[in-house]
Structure 1
Amino acid sequence: MAIIKQAARQTLGQLIGANNPVVTVPDDSQRQYSWTKKEVDVYWADIEKFKDGRESGRESSSEYFIGPVVTITAETASGRALLDGQQRLTTSTILLAVIRDILWQTNAPEAKLSANNIQRDYIARKSGRKDPMEYFLVLSLFDRDFFRDYIQTWSEISGECARTEAATRPSHHLIKDAYNNLYAKVRSRLQSMADDEDRLDYLDLLRECLIYGLVFVEIQTPSSSDANEVFETINSRGKDLSTVDLVRNFLMEKSTGSHEKDRVNNAWRSLLDDFQRREDIEKFLRHFWVSKHGDVKSHSLYVTIRKSLTEHFDQRPQVYGVGKFSAELENAASRYAELISQNTGDSDFDATLSEVKALSADALYPLLLSASERYEYHEMQALLQAALSYYVRWTVVGTRESTLLEENLFGVAKDLSKGESLENAAKRVAGWIPDDDAFFAAFKEASIPKQAQSRYLLAKLEAHLRSDAGIHEEISFGAGKVHVENIYPSNPEVHLKVDDHDSWLNRLGNLTLLSGKRNQVTSVRPFPEKAHIYSSSSMLISSRAQVASLWDSETGRWRMQGIVERQDYMARIALSVWPSSINVG
């Protein structure tokens, strides 16, 4: 059971500031800044609502409880180590910096004095001209320098931060976004005010709300193990802490010395540098574990990892420790980053990986990650082709239960990590691909409401038609270059709307590709008014794939049997595009 020294009410001004112990986010525990626009918007809405209530004079609105923070406050320690509350304290400091900067920009002597006071009292200060800067909130090593450069190290002469540090990590971009978002919100409020006096009053009241009205409960613990236990308990009831953060804290807790702690930090530095989005790190961690141990759901991932690794780490003699796990994680991260960014160095393999991304076929990544540990990318092409055909035939077109597909692929990934051969793994996957009769029947009836999937299917059919026609010109299917078009439109003229309208709309036989962005006006017109667009299109799926069969020129009405005929034609092509028979060596 965790030991709690005390739980004390603290305002923001009592937690951070010149007269308080410095609050430091330890390097060996805690995540990076992770609030997106969504969380910052909620925070700002709460602050505005609180400010309005506070100004009304109601006693019930004099304070705003924003949540608990967990700190380590050992008797011999100077300052406070922050285990929980980083996001709220960091965002509050950013908002104070916004108030500081806007005050300075008004150019009024009184405003500049207030800006200087905010900086010195609640963000950072120098005791003497030659003394080092003292920062009242110190972030962990991953964000520390950038946060200081962008928010904290502010010149009382120029009224600006240096901002010379490049944003190299997802958390850096989020810090910039939070500042810009809050700056825009405060500026927007000020624009509606009549004169400078009103604007200065608003800024001063906003500052007071933050410093004196924003209230936390500080839970003080004597050690990192106690703090981590409280930390996990609090965050197990909400979304404040991610699995990635919990795993890192756990590894730090289990590290037996500075060498292992450094190993964990090096692994986490690689994770932050390899991935552009925090979501990719979260996804990687699950796929890494699945690639070695089989299926585990996201909600139980941390508990599963902790239980399994604890058994290994507590063995005596220890054969598998924190250092080895961290090394495996770091090595896998670089390979995973290559897979999801299609940057393996093998052009054919990367081209097929782009199809995985286009379909959001994430279930394939644990299998590929596992195989890449022992095999070169060019050796994995057959496995990837088999897995992709399996995914398209089973899930995208067949619309069968994806759980079974995931269990199968995750099981092969686990067996690969334990030594199964690549050839045998590819044969197993190929054996699960639905046969031609089943795929043909499913394709003829397929309705694909997800545009990313329909776009992918049509693009692959287009590539096949081009190959058969001997056309080798490359077509860019990037955003804005080609769009999916409903031939029979989603909003037809009333007298042309058919029965069971919705059931026909996303049938593959009713979909085609056209160059450029979609023209809504043209899209809803009767077929004769847009027939020339299809017949002259550079997309063969439009100009040579029976589009005209959807219109009955004699009756001047849409012909639904044309969708059936065109889809049957497309289904025959699809048998070759996503084959059931894969040469696996």
Structure 2
Amino acid sequence: MAIIKHAARQTLGQLIGANNPVVTVPDDSQRQYAWTKKEIETYWTDIQKFRQARETGRESASEYFIGPVVTITDEHVKSRSLLDGQQRLTTSTILIAVIRDVLWQMGSPEARATANNMQRDYIARQAGRRDPMEYFLVLSLFDRDFFRDSIQDWSETTGKVRGVESAKRPSHKLIQEAYAYFESKIRAELFSFPDDEDGRLDWLDSLYECLIKGLVFVEIQTPTSSDANEVFETINSRGKDLSTVDLVRNFLMEKSRVESTKQRVNDTWRVLLDNFEKREEIERFLRHFWVSRHGDVKSHSLYTTIRSELTEKFATQPQNYTPKAFAAELEGASLRYVDLIHCSTGVEDFDEALTEIKTLNADALQPLLLAASEKNDYSELQDLVAACLSYYVRWTVIGTRESTLLEENLFGLAKEFSAGAQLSSVMSKVCNWIPDDETFREAFKGAELAKTTQARYVLEKLETRLRSDAGVDELVIAGPGKVHVESIYPQNPDAKYRLEDHGALLHRLGNLTLLSGRKNQSVSNRPFHEKSYIYEESALLISAKTGVARLWDANGNKWRPEGIDARQAEMADVAVDVWPGASRWS
């Protein structure tokens, strides 16, 4: 059980500021800044509601409880190591910095003096010209330099931060976005006082007072990092403030007994933060990495599973398997995973297949490819990725079968691969799971694709095969905006042309095609005889050479549902070759 030394009410001004112990986010136990626009908007909205309520003078509205913070404090509370509360304290400091900068830019002596006081009292100060800067909130190594450079190192002479460090990590960009959001909101509010500096100063002062004196926390002081970590995990077990990635890092640091091991864990986390573009990608990688070695585990139970299994492994194999070894495995796998999701292996055909996986959001394939890439060159995996794509398209996209079974199959196979299964054996199992040609053909004949990305993908692949079969010069199909998915029988036809089975026909593949240029809705909704020239003159064979005219009854001046069936049946014959069955690799 965790030991709690003390729990006390603290305002924001009592937690950070010139007269308080510096709050430091320790390098070995916290994450980087993670609040997105969603959390920032909620924070701002809550602050504004509180400010308005506080101005009524009601005692019940004098404070706003924003949650607990967990710190490790020494005996005399001369220092604070922050284990929980980083997001709220960092965001509050960013907002104070925005108020400071807006005040300075107003230009009056009073406004600039107030800005200087805010900086010295609650952000950072320099006691003497030759003294080092004292920062009242010190972030961990992942964000420390950037936060100082863009928020804290502010000149009382120029009213500007240094601004030398570039935003290298996702967390850096989130800090920038939080600052920009608050600045836009404050400037919008001050627009109500175009010629009233006193009004602007009063409004900014009211907001500042709400933050410094009105925001209330409960600081939970603990004597050791292990106590703090236990409280930290308990408090955050249901909240946004803690992610699986953060918990795993904290756990590894807790299990690291020597400084070199802690450094290795931190080095791995630097690689993760620097190589992935989004925090969500790191979360997904961690799950896929674990799945690739241990089989399926759901996101909600990932941390408890990792902690339990690694705790046992570290205890039973202390000489052979340590947090350092796990960190090394994680880092190596992350570099390959980045290649896979960014389609940047350097093997052209393999990267094209990876691009298809990305287009389809076929994440279920990634653990198997990650496991396969550990012991095989990317160039050796071309058949495997092609077979996996056929399996995914035939089973899920067109067959609309239960995706859970596909995941179970692939995740289990990834575990086998990591345990030593040979590529030929893995390939054989994937091929056995691919639905046969006749099953796929029949499913394709009736397939509906309401998702534009999937429809575009299927139509583009059919177009490429049609051009190959016709011996037409290769054509690179442009991206959305230059080529669009078109419903031949329109989404909003005139009432006299509307078919009885309108909803059932609209997303049938036989009713969909590709056209160059941006979609013109007014043209798209016309009857066929008014837009037939668009298909006839198209450079895309999927429109010009697949019998689009069969969808229109020229004599009866009406749409023909049976034309959709006929066109889609012919497309199905092509699709069988585009996404081949097991015989392709036998």
TM-score range, shorter chain: over 0.9
Using a 3 Å threshold, how does the CA distance of structure 1 residues 77 and 15 change in structure 2: closer, same or farther? closer
Whole-angstrom distance in 1 between the partners of 2:11 and 2:91: 15
Post-superposition CA distance 1:105-150 (Å, at most 9, x none): 1101100001101111000110001111111111110101011111
Tell me the residue number matched to 1:31: 31
Tell me the residue number matched to 2:418: 417
Post-superposition CA distance 1:21-65 (Å, at most 9, x none): 111111001111011111101110000000000001121111111
Whole-angstrom distance in 2 between the partners of 1:155 and 1:508: 62
Paired residues for 1:442-521 under 5 Å? 442-521=443-522
Tell me the residue number matched to 2:120: 120
How many pairs are equivalent? 585
1:65 touches 1:216 (CA, 8 Å); kept in 2?
yes
Post-superposition CA distance 1:265-290 (Å, at most 9, x none): 01100101110000100000000000
Matched letter for residue 570 of structure 1 = M
Q: CA deviation at 1:76?
A: 6.9
Whole-angstrom distance in 2 between the partners of 1:521 and 1:7: 65
Post-superposition CA distance 1:299-335 (Å, at most 9, x none): 0000000000000111265321101000000000000
Paired residues for 1:378-457 under 5 Å? 378-457=379-458
Tell me the residue number matched to 2:576: 575
Post-superposition CA distance 1:483-509 (Å, at most 9, x none): 111111111111111112111111111
Tell me the residue number matched to 1:160: 160
Whole-angstrom distance in 2 between the partners of 1:106 and 1:196: 8
Q: CA deviation at 1:404?
A: 0.5
Whole-angstrom distance in 1 between the partners of 2:585 and 2:326: 32
Whole-angstrom distance in 2 between the partners of 1:527 and 1:202: 61
Matched letter for residue 157 of structure 2 = I
Q: CA deviation at 1:237?
A: 2.0
- Structure 2 gaps of 5+ residues are none
Q: CA deviation at 1:20?
A: 0.5
Q: CA deviation at 1:197?
A: 1.6
Matched letter for residue 238 of structure 1 = G
Tell me the residue number matched to 2:139: 139
1:459 touches 1:477 (CA, 8 Å); kept in 2?
no
Whole-angstrom distance in 2 between the partners of 1:346 and 1:582: 25
Whole-angstrom distance in 2 between the partners of 1:288 and 1:584: 28
1:312 touches 1:319 (CA, 8 Å); kept in 2?
no
Tell me the residue number matched to 1:79: 79
1:32 touches 1:143 (CA, 8 Å); kept in 2?
yes
Task: Name the SS for the 1:69 alignment partner.
Answer: strand
Matched letter for residue 180 of structure 1 = A
Paired residues for 1:50-69 under 5 Å? 50-69=50-69
Q: 552-561 or 35-44, which moves further after superposition? A: 552-561
Q: 397-406 or 478-487, which moves further after superposition? A: 478-487
1:480 touches 1:517 (CA, 8 Å); kept in 2?
yes
Task: Name the SS for the 1:476 alignment partner.
Answer: coil
Tell me the residue number matched to 2:272: 271
Q: CA deviation at 1:74?
A: 2.5
Tell me the residue number matched to 1:235: 236
1:244 touches 1:281 (CA, 8 Å); kept in 2?
yes
Paired residues for 1:538-549 under 5 Å? 538-549=539-550
Task: Name the SS for the 2:582 alignment partner.
Answer: coil
The runs of at least 4 aligned residues of structure 1 exceeding 3 Å deviation read 582-585
Paired residues for 1:363-378 under 5 Å? 363-378=364-379
Matched letter for residue 136 of structure 1 = F
1:386 touches 1:582 (CA, 8 Å); kept in 2?
no
Q: CA deviation at 1:559?
A: 1.1
Q: CA deviation at 1:583?
A: 4.9
Whole-angstrom distance in 2 between the partners of 1:473 and 1:435: 29
Tell me the residue number matched to 2:329: 328
1:382 touches 1:582 (CA, 8 Å); kept in 2?
no
1:423 touches 1:584 (CA, 8 Å); kept in 2?
no
Whole-angstrom distance in 2 between the partners of 1:476 and 1:207: 54
Tell me the residue number matched to 1:10: 10
Q: CA deviation at 1:553?
A: 1.2
2:21 touches 2:77 (CA, 8 Å); kept in 1?
no
Post-superposition CA distance 1:337-388 (Å, at most 9, x none): 0000000010010001000000000000000000000000010111111111
C-alpha RMSD of matched pairs (Å) = 1.1
2:21 touches 2:80 (CA, 8 Å); kept in 1?
yes
Whole-angstrom distance in 1 between the partners of 2:292 and 2:318: 26
Task: Name the SS for the 2:542 alignment partner.
Answer: helix
1:552 touches 1:559 (CA, 8 Å); kept in 2?
yes
Post-superposition CA distance 1:169-199 (Å, at most 9, x none): 1001111011001110111111122422211
Whole-angstrom distance in 2 between the partners of 1:74 and 1:532: 80
Whole-angstrom distance in 2 between the partners of 1:452 and 1:579: 21
Task: Name the SS for the 1:339 alignment partner.
Answer: helix
2:460 touches 2:477 (CA, 8 Å); kept in 1?
no
Task: Name the SS for the 1:44 alignment partner.
Answer: helix
Post-superposition CA distance 1:207-259 (Å, at most 9, x none): 00000001111111100000000000011122221000000000000001101
2:143 touches 2:171 (CA, 8 Å); kept in 1?
yes
2:468 touches 2:474 (CA, 8 Å); kept in 1?
no
Matched letter for residue 51 of structure 2 = K
Matched letter for residue 29 of structure 1 = S
Q: CA deviation at 1:447?
A: 0.6
- Structure 1 gaps of 5+ residues are none
Matched letter for residue 121 of structure 2 = D
Whole-angstrom distance in 1 between the partners of 2:135 and 2:549: 70
Task: Name the SS for the 1:314 alignment partner.
Answer: helix
1:382 touches 1:583 (CA, 8 Å); kept in 2?
no
Tell me the residue number matched to 1:209: 210
Task: Name the SS for the 1:199 alignment partner.
Answer: helix
Q: CA deviation at 1:582?
A: 5.4
Task: Name the SS for the 1:378 alignment partner.
Answer: helix
Is 1:261 aligned with 2:262? yes
Task: Name the SS for the 2:393 alignment partner.
Answer: helix
Provide the identity percentage.
65
Task: Name the SS for the 2:399 alignment partner.
Answer: coil
2:488 touches 2:512 (CA, 8 Å); kept in 1?
yes
TM-score (norm 2): 0.98
1:383 touches 1:584 (CA, 8 Å); kept in 2?
no
Matched letter for residue 205 of structure 2 = D
